Structure 1
């Protein structure tokens, strides 16, 4: 008698197994992509808050010198009181809207002890945060406040959770 066993082992995957894998990948992607986009938006807002907050030292120095704070690249020492530029170059941040203010920044009340600096997000910023404004203000007693104002153009995408804890959305 001939006892030859023929082994018909499965080779490869069945169509249903492949479809299940594709469905699982699709579900994971549907969850992961929006989370990733939120992470990018939050990190961009946090970065701009850090960049704007780094100007506080220059502002304090200017106020101690009795100077007026202005945006731009160079100081004007020929006027009284002297004008000290923030020295912020828009080329340093690709997340600011270079068409807003000067270099993406605007200074109000720069001649007082309570200046306000506003940075408008744009440029390479995520569409969810482009148009948001980071504002730091100093009161006359030297306390600093920070706030982030979401996009004002009415488009969807902005979430208050994009603002870091130390600079809440307003």
Structure 2
């Protein structure tokens, strides 16, 4: 009988207590929450970067069409031989202002991203031919590439 009580005592002392298991689960929950938030931020930054890269594709055809002369009037995505829409954008083109900066020379109205509803990213073209990215006010700076901040 003494052998049974010794083995039984050793058996009870081995393993984890309920408190220890609850602490481990709580720590895992905190780590998963932090990882999930970090993943969401990275995903949103990547999506906005894709939008910025897509709208940048309009710069060269726009400049090429502009260099063809004053008779060119087809400043549209079709006129630039570019798509009207993409996964995240509905594009709009504005004809150049010959006297200065062309605001919204190329604009992406963001679509398909619930956290950026009714937002846009535009490229403005200065008279000297330089381009500037201009996001709408509702896009958090944390999501924007450095060129748009």
Q: TM-score range by the shorter chain?
A: 0.7 to 0.9
| Pick aligned residue for 1:68 from 49, 65, 73 | 73
- Partner residue in 2 for 1:106: 92
List runs of 5+ in structure 2 lacking aligned partners. Answer: none
Equivalent residues of 1:69, 1:86 under 8 A apart: no
Map 1:9-24; keep pairs closer than 5 Å.
9=11, 12-24=15-27
Task: Name the Cα RMSD after superposition.
Answer: 2.5
> 1:136–1:35: structure 2 CA closer, same or farther, 3 Å change rule?
same
List runs of 5+ in structure 1 lacking aligned partners. Answer: 74-83, 97-103, 152-157
- 1:36 to partner: Cα distance: 1.9
- Partner residue in 2 for 1:42: 45
- 1:30 to partner: Cα distance: 2.6
| Structure that is richer in helix per residue | 2
The SS at the match of 2:132 is strand
Structure-1-length-normalised TM-score: 0.69
- Partner residue in 2 for 1:117: 106
- Structure number with greater Rg is 2
Structure-2-length-normalised TM-score: 0.77
- 1:88 to partner: Cα distance: 1.6
Q: For 1:43 and 1:35, locate their aligned partners in 2 and report how far apart those are by CA, in whole Å.
A: 12
Q: For 1:45 and 1:139, locate their aligned partners in 2 and report how far apart those are by CA, in whole Å.
A: 23
> 1:131–1:12: structure 2 CA closer, same or farther, 3 Å change rule?
farther
